[in-house]
Amino acid sequence: MNDSALPSESTNASDPESARTRRILILGLITVSIAGFIIAAGKTHPVGARPLTWTNTEHLGDAATETLRVTSFNIHGGKGLDGERNLERIAKLLEGSDIVGLNEVHHRTFEGTNQAHQLGQRLKLAAAFAPTERRWGRDHFGNGLLSRIAINDGQQSPLTGTYDDKFRNIITGNFEWQRQNVWLLITHIDRTRDRKQQLKAALEMFEKTKTPAILMGDFNTTIDDNLLSSYFKSKSAKDAVGTSADCPQRIDWILTCGFEVVSSQCVTNDASDHPMVTVELKLSGNR
């Protein structure tokens, strides 16, 4: 018999060891892959305050108009009451606005651009996305700003919160209109345990800005809330939307200081789970 044809003792001994090594390597790769997937899918907060990044700036104009139309809309990621995502319905409601504050803006994983940019393209308005959350390694969810007028010093800043997976921010900036510098703030306040401290912070920021100024967004707060009602009693700011039979318990607000309200609407709709609030403003003679 040819001894060279027989498997050696060392080869037999190494086979179980090699199999164990391969199993360990495969399990390690699977574990790392699962961990990476979980981390990528999890929500993280964009780091600190940062300037706004603008798109569609070719649509900016001089805004030489007698009045200013300002709109605040929580678009619910473009999802309507029928469960369908349709930005065309959102865009149609926003037509004619000069300044738009958006809440619950999405940048979905398989879409190349965020919804603020997409709406800006449809409406021929400059657009900025202010993400509050990152997911899958990209900015995923947050607030937005659409404008016909150039916004100066645009910035997003985080609001203090106690959650590990829910984050909020506030957009600030200013723009020139009718030879006046107008200050602008846009936010989306938490619905539960962080609501009061975040709303208080936003109102304090608004109070410190120069006049004329606008603060708008989804406050998750109705008019019967003590913090908000007492603020209107003690400060010069006004509820520009006002009371409406269509939206008696609305939580979406536009606060102004240094403006007169020409008209206002709270528009119930099927394009989102929130009404759209919109006001037409002119500068007050008592600034």
Note the pTM of the prediction, 2 decimals: 0.84
Q: How confident is the model at residue 201 (pLDDT cuts 50, 70, 90)?
A: very high
Looking at residue 109, its amino acid is: T
Cis bond leading into 131, ω under 30°?
no
Annotated domain spans of the chain = 3-40, 46-283
Is the pLDDT at 41 greater than 50? The verdict is: no
**Residue 38 predicted with pLDDT over 50:** no
The region of weakest confidence among 20-24, 32-36, 140-144, 260-264 is: 32-36
Rounded distance between C-alpha atoms, residue 180 and residue 148, angstroms: 16
- Domain 46-283: what homologous superfamily? Endonuclease/exonuclease/phosphatase (3.60.10.10)
Does residue 269 register a pLDDT over 90?
Answer: yes
pLDDT of residue 17: 77
Task: Give the Cα separation of 192 and 8 in Å (integer).
Answer: 71
- In sequence order, which ranges of 42-188 are alpha helices (DSSP H)? 87-94, 115-123
Alpha-carbon gap, residue 270 to 267, rounded angstroms? 10
